[in-house]
Amino acid sequence: MNETQIILAVLFPATALLSVAIGVRVIKSTAPGEQRKGADIEALAERENRYAVLVTMLLIGLLAITLFFIPYGEGAEDDAQQVTVEAFQYGWKVTPSNIQAGRQIEFRLRSQDVQHGFGVYQGDKLIKQVQVPANTPGSDDPLGPEQRMVLTLDEPGTYRIACLEFCGSGHHLMVGEFEVVG
Ligand code: CUA
């Protein structure tokens, strides 16, 4: 299992179940039945405080763990190969189109027009994708803001690019490819 699969298979269901358990607990604690027992208010308050501390610690713990799985803002290593990608209606310009296998790639992506989605495929499998922001209408700059995506491709071969954001009547034609050499 890779990191994403662990999150989807374990952490996400665990968090969902925990949320349900906490929800049930809260609903039960506010039910008239429990209040009528003439409970000791101070003991209840103390118990709720303990729960609040526990839940807060759990949430902070989960945040701390999952923060490291966020795939954005990842910086490239100093010796990464830089690949410039220009997105346009309807195609991709990748420079250089020959990329080395096993070495980190820093894609630098910009759009000539509207927002596009840069998806890299190996065969039918989507490896990674990122959005390419639109160029501001009326801007003097022929290209929009830069987006970056860091990726290492270990297997040589032809990788396909597909646009993953609807960008006009030719969106489905917006495909491309690049070579990764060993
Ligand atoms: Cu570009 Cu869809």
Instruction: Return phi, psi of residue 66, to 5°.
Output: -75, -20
| Any ligand 1 atom below 6 A from CB of 162 | no
- The yes-or-no verdict on residue 38 having pLDDT over 80 is no
Please say whether the beta carbons of 162 and 141 come within 8 A: no
For the chain, what percent of residues have pLDDT higher than 90?
A: 64
Specify the pTM.
0.64
Ligand 1 centroid – CA 161 distance (Å): 11
Of ligand 1's listed atoms, the one at least distance from the Cα of 168 is: 2
- Nearest atom in ligand 1 to 166's CA: 2
Query: What ranges in 31-89 are assigned the alpha helix state H?
Result: 32-36, 41-67
Question: Of 20-29, 38-47, 115-124, 167-176, which gets the smallest average pLDDT?
Answer: 38-47
Residue-wise pLDDT for 61-102, tens only, equals 999 988 877 766 667 888 899 999 999 999 999 998 779 999
